[in-house]
Structure 1
Amino acid sequence: MAQWSIAGTLQVGPALARPELLAPPVLDAIRALDAADVDRIGATEIDPDLADTAAFCEHYGVPLEASANCVVVAGKRAGELRYAACMVLATTRADVNGVVKRRLDVRKASFAPMDEAVGLTGMQYGGITPIGLPSDWPLLLDARVAAEPELVVGSGIRGGKLLVPGDLLAKLAGAEVIEGLAG
């Protein structure tokens, strides 16, 4: 199991030892990874009322720059609805109307409505994570996310967080590392 220097006051253990902290699609996806990668994923319980990044980081002593957010983006082209997930550092914002719009090849891209994002991912809003997303979605990672040795991301529920290395996220199905995805 990895040692986490960014954990602050969090009690981190192996992700598969805490299945109650993982949304079902996240648990299934972690179980499907190579054993060496599974060992690189930590899980921790948090107060669900503190799941939002700024409140979480302040309360648990985790550096904001060590947190990454996963947002679900949607756009239409010729009547077809297209989705993607974007992973950016918490200190940045995804370029939805530039880079993401071009990558999805849509006229307009925007954040997916909460009920859509929750329904399509099987995860709770505020806990959506790149691990366990629908397999046909592109997972767009800002290059800075992929380069981070340690990150805190959602676990699929508001009451948990995952600790993962950025290079592991870059190996997920559908992952594309994009320079300049966030600013």
Structure 2
Amino acid sequence: MTLHWTPATERTDLLAEPVARAVTALDTGVEVAGIDPELADTAAFCERYGVALDESANCVVVAAKRGGETRYAACMVLATMRVDVNGVVRSHLDARKASFAPMAQAVELTGMEYGGITPIGLPADWPVLVDTHVAGHSRVVIGSGVRRSKLAVSGATLAGLKGAEVLALAT
């Protein structure tokens, strides 16, 4: 199957509501393509649509806890890498404990579908931790907030999001 990329501002119907609002405000050349929602998971998507794993980035929602308080953050890493949640992320967020946020919680807090969560349109107070490998990419494919589409965006755009910090997150 072939991906047909269109400016995301012209196809907000393919985006989750918070993503559509954020993309309109960004105005930075973000593109969207519709996909089969059954193929939204990274490995299946990449295989079917001919996108290399190292051109695809995943958004991982982390719950960081300290002193009875839970804070959330999004971590962006290439699909070929894993987020160092218990090392780099926990330390950077100054948390006693850090773990992947439960699916139901991530969906509720973001207003996005599981398997489509993206850093564009997240709650404004969430840090967005972008791995250096992602930030250096001229174009990566990421979630769109829903399982029926994907976004194409530059690493520089992700690194420039409000609350974004570029770090060596991956192992």
TM-score tier after normalising by the smaller chain length: over 0.9
Match of 1:146 in 2: 135
Structure 2 equivalent of residue 3 of structure 1: none
* Cα displacement (A) at 1:32: 1.2
Mapped partners of 2:23, 2:35: distance in 1: 20
Q: Does 1:92 align with 2:81?
A: yes
Query: Which residue in 1 is equivalent to 2:106?
Result: 117
User: How big is the shift at 1:42?
Assistant: 0.6
Point out where structure 2 has 5 or more consecutive residues left out of the alignment: none
TM-score (normalised: structure 1): 0.91
Partner of 1:103: 92
State whether structure 2 residue 62 is matched by structure 1 residue 62: no
Q: Does 1:19 find its partner at 2:19? A: no
- Residue 170 of structure 2 corresponds to residue 182 of structure 1: yes
What is the aligned-residue RMSD (CA, Å)?
Answer: 0.9
Deviation at 1:60, TM superposition (A): 0.5
Between the aligned residues of both structures, percent identity stands at: 64
Q: How many residues align?
A: 171
Secondary structure, aligned partner of 1:10: coil
Deviation for aligned residue 1:96: 0.1
Partner residue, 1:4: none
2:2 pairs with 6, 9, 32, which one? 9
In the aligned structure 2, how far is the partner of 1:72 from the partner of 1:135?
A: 14
Query: Which stretches of structure 1, 4 residues or longer, exceed 2 Å deviation after superposition?
Result: none
1:14 Cα deviation from its structure 2 partner: 0.8
Displacement of 1:141 in angstroms is 0.4
- CA apart distance, 1:107: 1.2
Q: How far off its partner does 1:27 sit?
A: 0.4
Structure 1 residue runs of 5 or longer lacking an equivalent are 1-7
Partner of 2:160: 171
Which letter does structure 2 place at the counterpart of 1:118? V
